[in-house]
Amino acid sequence: MRWPLIILILLGALWRTDGLFTHTFYADEALFASWARLIAVWRDPLLSTVPIDKPPLLFYLQAFFYPLQGPVTWAARLPNWIASLLTIPLVWQLAYRFSPKKPLATELATLLFVFSPLSIQFSATAFVDPLLVFWLVLALVLAANPHPAYGSAVAAGLALLTKYQAVLFFPLILAVRWRFRPDKRQIIGWVGIVTIFGTMLILWDIIRVGEWTLWRTQMSGFGGLRLIWSWEVWPRLAGWTMMSWWLLGAGWLIGIGWLISDMSQRSLKPPNKTADVRIWLWGMIAGYVSMHWLLAIPIWDRYWLPLVPLVAVAFSIGLPRFKNDQIAIKRSFNRLRKKNRRDINFKVIWLVFALLLLLPQGWLARRGWFPVGGSATADGGAGQIAAVLDDKPYGTVLYDHYYSWQWRYHFFDTGVFVSWFPNPDWFGRELQAFESDSNERFVVLPNDERGNPVRREATALGFSLVEIEQTAEMTLYLVEVSP
C-alpha cells in the first residue's frame, strides 16, 4: 500500500468518524433502524409484520451490530461507516485499473472521493445508499480484473440485495468486464450468478408474506414512475444542478483543472483499450443524470451518492479520446511547455493545492455543515422528546401525525403507545373518547403553523395543551382537561 493512500484513508476515517456519534436519524433512517431491531431481538426476523419496500441486506447487517453494541443509534450506522472506509482503497484501485499508466490519477480520484461532502455526510448514516456504493465499486474493480468474473457477479448480486438501483449500473459493470476480458462464457456466468441473487430476493419476500410485494410497495410509496411534464423540465434541471455541487464541492474546480491539463498532454497515437472504458464511464454518468432529470424522481441527495466514485474516477482518467481529436490542442500546448518530468511535477503541485483547498471542506462536512446527508439536527429533536418520555409507565399515549417513524424506533421497548391521527377532527374525537382515561396523554406538534389546527381543535373541545419540551422543530405537550 502506497503512503498517499494510507494518508487518504486516515483522513477519510477522521472526516467520517464524528458522524457515528453526533448524527441523529432522519425519518427514513429511524424506520430502517427499527426494522433492524425487529430482526436483532428475533421479534420478526423476516420482517413479515412491516410493509418494507427495500431489499433487506442492510437491515440484517445492522441487526448483527445491535447485539454487539446495544440499542444505540450508532450501531445502525456502523455498517455504512465501515463500507465507506473500505470504498476509499477501492476507488484508488478502480482508477488504477482504468488507467494504469496515468501518473497520479489514483491519487486524484481518491482525493476527490475522500473529500466529497456527499460521501462524508452519508458515511455515518443508516440509509442504504453508502452500502450500495461499496458493492458497486467493488463489482467494477473485480470486473476490471483478468481473473474469472465470479467475484464481480457476487458483488453485483449483493448490491441488488441492498437496493434496486443497482440494476442501473449492471450495463457499466458488464461493459468493463467485456473490455478487460471478452469471454462470452464469463458474461453468461456473470448474468447467471446475479440472477440467482435476484431469485433469492424474490423467494425471501414470498416466504415472509406469501407473494412478491417489495417492488409494488416501493412504487406505491414512491408514486410510480413517469416522464416529467413540460413545466417541470427547467425547475428539475435547476434542482439537480444545485444538488450536483455537493458531489465534489470545491473538488469540481480541481477535477476540471485536471481535465484541462490532461487534454494538453494527449499523444497523437490512436486510442487504446482504455478509451472504451472512458466512453462507458462518462456515458453512464450522463445517462444516470438524464434519467433522474427526465423521470419524475424526487430530487433527493442520496440518489446522487453512487455518482461520487464514478465522477471522481472519470476526472482522474480524463475525457474519452478518439483518433486525432486533440491535434490542435496538443500542438498549441507543446509550444508552451515540455513533457514528462515537468508534467508530473505540475500534477504534484496541483494535488498539493487540491489538498489544501479541500481540507476546510472536509472539516465542515465532518461537522455535518452541508445541507446533504447526515447531521446532528437531522431528527429535529425527536431524540430529545423521546428521552423525556422514555421512563413513562405502560399505557402512556403519545398522539402524533408528523413523526411516527421516529417514534417507532425510539419507543421500541418502552411503555409509550403512539397513536397516529390523520387530521385534527380525528384527534379531537380521540381526546373525547378517552377523556376519563387516567393514563397520561401527550401530543407532539411542529413549531410552525402546521400545528395550529390541532391546537385550536383541542382548545375548542375544552382541553389544554401544556408545553413540556420544545426543540428546534417540534414541541411536546401534555394534554389536560381545562378547568
Of residues 225, 247, 238, 242, the one with CA closest to residue 297: 225
Residue from 144, 139, 136 nearest 177 by CA: 144
Express each pLDDT in 95-150 by its tens digit.
Answer: 999 987 777 889 999 999 999 999 999 999 999 999 999 999 999 999 998 777 79
Average pLDDT of the chain, as a whole number: 89
Res 24: pLDDT: 94
- Report the pLDDT value the prediction gives residue 466, as an integer from 0 to 100: 95
Task: Render pLDDT for 450-471 as a digit per residue (tens, 0 to 9).
Answer: 999 999 999 999 999 999 999 9
Strands 474-481 and 463-470: antiparallel
User: Which residue numbers in the chain have pLDDT < 70?
Assistant: 1, 222, 264-275, 321-346
pLDDT of residue 327: 44
Alpha-carbon span 93 to 106, nearest angstrom: 7
Report the phi/psi class of residue 102: left, alpha or beta, with left for phi > 0 and alpha for psi in -120 to 50.
Answer: beta
Locate the domains of the chain by residue range.
3-366, 382-481
Strand partners, 397: 417, 441
pLDDT for position 449: 93
Q: Which residues are CB-neighbours of 364 under 8 A, at least 6 positions away?
A: 117, 370
Q: Model-level pTM?
A: 0.92
